[in-house]
Amino acid sequence: MTYRMVNGKVETPEGCEINVAYHCNLGCASCSHLSPAFRRSLAEPETIARDLALLARSFRAQFVKVLGGEPLLHPRLVEILHSIRAAGIAPRVLVCTNGLLLPRMGEDFWAAVDEVEISVYPGRELPEEARARILGHAEDHGVTLTVNHYSHFRYSYSEHGTDDEQLIRRIHATCQIAHVWRCHTVYEGHFFTCPQSVFIPQIIGDPQDIRADGLRITDDPGFAERLLAHLRSPQPLRACRNCMGSAGRRMPHQQRTRRDFRIPQQHTTEELADRRFLALLETVPDADDGCASAESAPLLPSPSLRKRS
């Protein structure tokens, strides 16, 4: 299933994403949102409410996923969750988190969310008692809870990038983030195909150009058609020049500090590419990236089990 125009609105078979805290309380190497490189920075709840209300006139998703960085670091998270629901852009609201702050979340949080996806990394597991408490909250509030364990990452971006247009096209065409999971992202009045095109320019690009890959959200009559064309475009984004898409080499999970997060990526795209996996993706677009470890299992089955925090 792909994008459809229904009653003047673009409908996606997947969701759209809102990043509420760009920084994180972990520092996973090659985090695809580059969160370890960010100092404390939070999205404005008023901006999110305004953007989603405007976008809802022309766009319909199956769910809105709230993530970051670590979304539970946002002090006004519950207010944001309510405003997402009020925008009416999707019937379900999900939060994707590393789970470390979940035991502290109050009843108002659990009442405001439909699903919680927890991404667990080696050495950062929750104690059994905290897991039991979280499960109890989820059951009390009818919240779907999913726990995924990740032992590996794939290099998500390259500091030096590439000028090889053919390689950029292949990485874009096989990108699961854009074309399989469809992690479309709303950020500061703009609609982006993927979170990487929001975050890569902020860390390694021209600060004047950070919205270059975004489509400005408006309420004029032609916006829905422009959005559909944007989503169906086969053209790589500007950020694809430095992005590994789904084709980065696999690396074991490790934690890094903000100071050394960017060091492993100081290579060209050619050096960081997994050519074998790239070729596989060209014939099997939804091939497993091999990053989840064996103990990954939904506590309560969820159709949205596919995105680490």
Applying CB under 6 A, among 158, 196, 265, 269 the residue interacting with ligand SF4 is: 196
Pairing of strands 144-149, 115-120: parallel
How many H helices and E strands in the chain?
10, 14
| Beta-carbon count within 10 A of 291 CB | 17
The least CB distance from residue 65 to ligand SF4, in Å, is 13
Applying CB under 6 A, among 245, 274, 289, 292 the residue interacting with ligand SF4 is: 245
The least CB distance from residue 23 to ligand SF4, in Å, is 9
Site stretch for ligand SF4 (CB under 6 A), options 49-57, 84-92, 109-117, 234-242: 234-242
Applying CB under 6 A, among 31, 37, 93, 126 the residue interacting with ligand SF4 is: 31
CB nearer to ligand SF4: give 24 or 116.
24
Query: Footprint of ligand SF4 on residues 67-96 (CB under 6 A)?
Result: 68-70
Q: If we measure between CA atoms, which residue out of 136, 76, 79, 74 comes closest to residue 103?
A: 136
CA distance 33 to 35: 5
Q: Does 269 bind ligand SF4 (CB under 6 A)?
A: no
Q: Does 201 bind ligand SF4 (CB under 6 A)?
A: no
Query: Footprint of ligand SF4 on residues 119-178 (CB under 6 A)?
Result: 119, 171-172, 175, 177-178
Q: Does 239 bind ligand SF4 (CB under 6 A)?
A: yes
Q: How many residues bind ligand SF4 (CB under 6 A)?
A: 29
Q: Does 281 bind ligand SF4 (CB under 6 A)?
A: no
Q: Does 308 bind ligand SF4 (CB under 6 A)?
A: yes
| Beta-carbon count within 10 A of 142 CB | 10
Q: If we measure between CA atoms, which residue out of 128, 117, 134 comes closest to residue 301?
A: 117
201, 210 in Cβ contact below 8 A? Answer: yes
Q: Does 300 bind ligand SF4 (CB under 6 A)?
A: no
CA distance 216 to 220: 11
The least CB distance from residue 88 to ligand SF4, in Å, is 27
Applying CB under 6 A, among 19, 58, 304, 309 the residue interacting with ligand SF4 is: 309
Output the CA torsion 191→146→36→156 (10° steps).
-70
Q: If we measure between CA atoms, which residue out of 272, 264, 279, 267 comes closest to residue 248?
A: 272
> 238: which DSSP letter?
G
Which residues are within 8 A (CB) of 206 and not within 5 positions of it... i.e. 6 or more apart?
Answer: none
By CB under 6 A, name the binding residues for ligand SF4: 24, 26-28, 31, 33, 35-36, 68-70, 98, 119, 171-172, 175, 177-178, 193-194, 196-197, 237, 239-240, 243, 245, 308-309
